[in-house]
Amino acid sequence: MMRGDGRAGVAFDKMVKDKQIQVHLVNSIKGTLRALLYERYDCTVTSKSPSAWCMKQLRNTRKYRSMEKNIELKQVAVISKSEGYLGYSNSGNKFLYKKDFSIKFDIEIYKMKQSGELDNIVNSFVDLKTIRKLVR
């Protein structure tokens, strides 16, 4: 797993402490994925979207094609989740445009979801098919 990534949780940390599993720290998600593809390790703890983005980047390289061995990466557990939020200030009447902006923003995001535009944007960075496959 990546250095400084503490998302694995208490049960995971206990397994490491009890020497039920070994953890090797790497500096990047790309390094993690390469180690998996080279079969140096059998699993990883990593974020889904950045991993899918890195896999898409790796798949476009000659080096990836030379090391591809029909390895299939699957998500087997969700250890933790985090979500992003757009926050609005509640500073009285200081931001007169806030209500109008928040309504328009929410409407546009809704339209983008309905039309598939958000999926297209995300898919330009990561392979949504891979992400959906991992979730199954």
Residue 75 and residue 72: Cα distance in Å, rounded?
10
Spans of all domains in the chain: 10-135
Kindly state the DSSP code that residue 41 receives in the 8-state scheme: -
pLDDT tens for the chain, 136 residues: list them.
888 777 777 888 898 899 998 888 888 888 888 888 877 888 888 877 788 888 877 777 776 665 655 666 777 777 766 667 777 777 767 777 888 888 899 999 999 999 999 888 877 777 666 666 655 4
Residue type, 70: N
Cross-strand pairs, 2? 26
Residue 135 and residue 112: Cα distance in Å, rounded?
23
For residue 32, give the nearest of 47, 19, 20 by alpha carbon.
47
For the chain, the C-alpha Rg in angstroms (whole number) is 20
Residue 46 and residue 2: Cα distance in Å, rounded?
7
- For 2, list phi and psi in degrees, rounded to 5: -75, 145
Confidence at residue 48, expressed as pLDDT on a 0 to 100 scale? 78
Mapped onto helix, strand or coil, the DSSP state of residue 35 is helix
